[in-house]
Amino acid sequence: MFDEIMEKFEGSPSQQAVIRLLLERGFSVNDEGRVVSGGIEIPNTGIAREIDVDRRVVDSTTDAILDDPELRRIFQNISQIPSLMDLAPVLDLSVLTVDVYDTEEPGIVAEITGLIADRGISMRQTVSEDPEFAVDPKLYIITERPLPGDLLNDIRDLDYVRQLGLQ
């Protein structure tokens, strides 16, 4: 789906940058063509500054989104999910980052979270980046306490795991 969306803007790398930012941040576009997060409007000048494009590029991108029924449906229904990853150190939580060889492999989340749950470790949040939207998608599991070394070894030994990271 990501590739299909980007193809609609293939003639404009600047508009593609706007699209990428909207998707990465979970920003939507309202009926007036304004970029919003929930009910809070994000100024087009701020978006333009973030990705180093002219404000008019943001305007033309939101206009194109509203003119295309498929894009309108997508970008009017995006919502942001709060993440505990950046708050983990403040809240004394642990973050396990799992990088896998093939993100299309079924059962990755189920198997890894099952191993953690079998140890009686509470998981506060699990975030699995979408392979269509992220260049190098990862699985993030935020837990109440650090994972023991032998459990980390069990997870690392799974055939599909490329690398683990801890925070």
Give the chain's domains with CATH numbers.
Answer: 2-75 (no CATH), 94-166 (3.30.70.260)
Q: Cβ of 151: how many Cβ atoms within 10 Å?
A: 16
User: What pLDDT score was predicted for residue 81?
Assistant: 84
Q: How far is CA 100 from CA 2, 97, 131, 143, 146, in A?
A: 20, 10, 11, 19, 21
Place of tokens 């939207």: 133
Six-digit token string for 157 = 């030994």
Alpha-carbon span 19 to 26, nearest angstrom: 10
What does pTM read for this prediction? 0.78
User: What pLDDT score was predicted for residue 132?
Assistant: 75
Per-residue pLDDT of the chain (167 residues; tens, 9 = 90+): 788 999 999 999 999 999 999 998 899 999 999 999 988 999 999 999 999 999 999 999 999 999 999 999 999 999 888 889 989 999 999 999 999 999 888 999 999 999 999 999 999 999 998 887 777 899 999 999 999 999 999 999 999 999 999 98
Direct distance between the N- and C-terminal alpha carbons of the chain, in angstroms, rounded to an integer:
32
Q: Evaluate whether 28 touches 74 at the Cβ level (below 8 Å).
A: no
Six-digit token string for 56 = 């008019």
Angle at 26 between CA 23 and CA 28, to 5 degrees: 90
Non-local (6+) Cβ contacts of 21 within 8 A are 27, 47, 50, 51
